[in-house]
A and B are shown apart, each in its own frame.
Chain A
Amino acid sequence: MFSVLPRRTNAGVLGGLAVITAVGLAACGSSGSPSSGSSSSSNPLTAGGSKGVVVGSANFPEDELLAEIYVLALQGKGVKVTSKFNIGDREVYYPEVKNGAITILPEYNGALLTTSVDTTSTAATTAEVNAALTAKLPSTLEILNSSSAQDKDSVTVTQATATKYHLSSIADLAPVAKDFVIGGPSEFKTRTDGLVGLKKNYGLTFKSFDPLDESGPVTLAALVDGKVQAADVFTTTPQIITDHLVALADPKFNFAAQNVTPLVYKKGVNSTIVATLNAISARLTTPGLLAMDKAVILDHDNYSTVAKGWLTAVGLSS
């Protein structure tokens, strides 16, 4: 569908549009790619049976991909799995996990905590967030081990800028922030983890702030074009690869942790399931997740193929 675009279009920035489209398509119907899980369990005799589990996902590509990884890994261990992907927002699926209609769902620990469990929490690090979740989750739920993979806000710069100014962490911006224009969604200006937090945690005051979009095509184009020198980009935005961007490390957790973490309905899981999911978390990294996101979102690879490829690569499937 992109063949109608002018030829000079940079494939990288074009990806921004692809994200919109991909999200849109995913929302329209996930019946396409990531459905291998459901086929094996559509047998009414086994689906929803006492030993079966239901793996759910939110309605965006990355979460569906993670759910597909869970499904394939569990099936590899002989667990009966039903997949119920593309459910909606947390407001919709969280009650379903809480009441056991969904057994397992790939979550982001920070967002889970502040949107559904404790909206006033100020926990920032992975340990703090997980401790808060363990303390406050309803008794029917628990989180398993967090992976190191995080999909969270970041201060992102181009590779060229990073090389020129020797930037790898947000702290490295100290000498240059006064010359940098930073971009992000309009609320970044006032949010506690936006400009306010960057000043408080890292002592950074930027030259100015440009209101853009939420890690979308406008933000990416502004970074690539040099309209802004730094921007708030989510750490698993696939254009980080194609546009040669660098998400700066955030050692002081200005942005609260968003580790990919399995949320499970306690009664529905046994030790095999817990061990399988924890093994996935142990191997999942941000770069690994980013590469898979690029494959499904920008390259339109099949979800199952990508999930299977990763499981094989990390030694969890043969």
Chain B
Amino acid sequence: MSFLSYAWDWLRAPVQWHGPGGIPIRILEQLGYSGLSLLVAALIAVPLGVLIGHTGRGALLVVNIANAWRSIPTLGLLVLAVITLGFSPLAWLIPLVVLAIPPILVNTYEGVAGVDPEIRDAARGMGMTSWQQVRKVEIPVAVPLIMLGLRTGAIFVVATATIAAYIGLGGLGRYIIDGLAANNYGEVAGGAALVVVLALLVQVLFVGLRYLVIPAGLRKQERPT
């Protein structure tokens, strides 16, 4: 049997779709862990990225740290967090936030720092204050890249939130860990397939969101020339 047929046989059994350990609940748990982590990461990384993109100060340092940061093993951080913080929500939140910060931070920085100097000059020439430049010009122009960062972060987090199951929590990782423990490969394959589908749906969601939040002026600009 192939991976897909294992997964399919498990997924179509009605018993998986009901109750506290059922697929709908597990998906909601997975989205809950991911959504909160992404929100916290965005609240940290977007303002920081805008700040260093606008001022240019510390850019080299922050971007390099953010890239090195990507090599932190999420599972190791999870276990460390449990050992030091116990079973508070911070135990799973910290590793997932740490995972999502680099793509959001680096893309936001690149987006803001990459604003055409002529546009900045024009904004300054119109008498905008520094804050007005950021708010009215630099952030809107950087939106496509900020959205790309958020999308990348979201996919990382949605796929990785499976590790919450490692410390006894729910989410789709439950199927993978419990399935492996019981040699139930259908459950493992089904759980993994659900994670893939969820990550793809998140990707689609962000493509849609991007269309909604990108300023009309930029959208025209993006049309094929």
Contact = CB atoms under 8 A, between A and B. Distances in A.
> Do A and B originate from a single complex?
yes
Interface of A: 5-6, 8-9, 13-14, 16-17, 20, 183, 185-187, 189-190, 210-213, 217-218, 221-222, 224-225, 227
A205 B180 CA distance: 25
Most chain A beta-carbon contacts within 10 A, residue among B84, B174, B182: B84
A218 B84 contact: no
Contact of B168 (A14, A212, A217): A212
Interface stretch (B75-83, B146-154, B204-212): B75-83
- Closest 4 A-B residue pairs measured CB to CB? A187-B181, A186-B181, A225-B86, A210-B168
23 contacts: A5-B84, A8-B84, A9-B83, A14-B83, A16-B79, A16-B83, A17-B79, A186-B180, A186-B182, A189-B178, A211-B177, A211-B181, A212-B168, A218-B82, A218-B166, A218-B168, A221-B82, A222-B87, A222-B168, A224-B86, A225-B87, A227-B86, A227-B168
Given A183-B168, A211-B177, A217 B82 contact: yes
A210 B174 CA distance: 11
Given A17-B79, A211-B177, A190 B166 contact: no
B15 interface: no
B167 interface: yes
Contacts of B177: 186, 211
Contacts, number: 56
Nearest to A212: B168
Most chain A beta-carbon contacts within 10 A, residue among B79, B83, B178: B83
A185 B87 CA distance: 17
Contact of B165 (A17, A211, A221, A227): A211
Interface in B163-184: 165-168, 174, 177-178, 180-182
A8 B83 CA distance: 11
Nearest to A13: B83
A211 B87 contact: no
Chain B contact-residue range equals 10 to 19
A197 to B, nearest CB: 16
Given A17-B80, A212-B167, A213-B166, A221 B178 contact: no
A225 B182 CA distance: 27
B38 to A, nearest CB: 24
A6 B83 contact: no
B83 A217 contact: yes
A49 B168 CA distance: 53
B178 A211 contact: yes
Given A187-B181, A221-B86, 18 more contacts: A5-B80, A5-B84, A9-B83, A13-B84, A16-B79, A183-B168, A185-B181, A186-B178, A187-B182, A210-B168, A211-B181, A212-B168, A213-B166, A217-B79, A217-B83, A218-B79, A218-B166, A225-B86
A190 B182 CA distance: 8
A10 B147 CA distance: 41
Contact of B87 (A6, A187, A227): A227
Most chain B beta-carbon contacts within 10 A, residue among A9, A186, A187, A227: A186
A221 B181 contact: no
Contacts of B82: 217-218, 221
Interface string B64-90: 000000000000000110111011000
Contacts of A183: 168
A229 to B, nearest CB: 14
Contact of A6 (B84, B165, B168, B178): B84
A17 B168 contact: no
A217 B82 CA distance: 8
Interface string B194-213: 00000000000000000000
Most chain B beta-carbon contacts within 10 A, residue among A9, A187, A211: A211
A221 B168 contact: no
Contacts of A185: 181
Contacts of A6: 84
Interface in B11-35: none
B168 A9 contact: no
B21 to A, nearest CB: 11
Given A213-B166, A218-B168, A17 B178 contact: no
B174 to A, nearest CB: 8
Contacts of A9: 83-84
A8 B84 CA distance: 8
Contacts of A221: 82-83, 86-87
B80 A218 contact: no
A141 B2 CA distance: 42
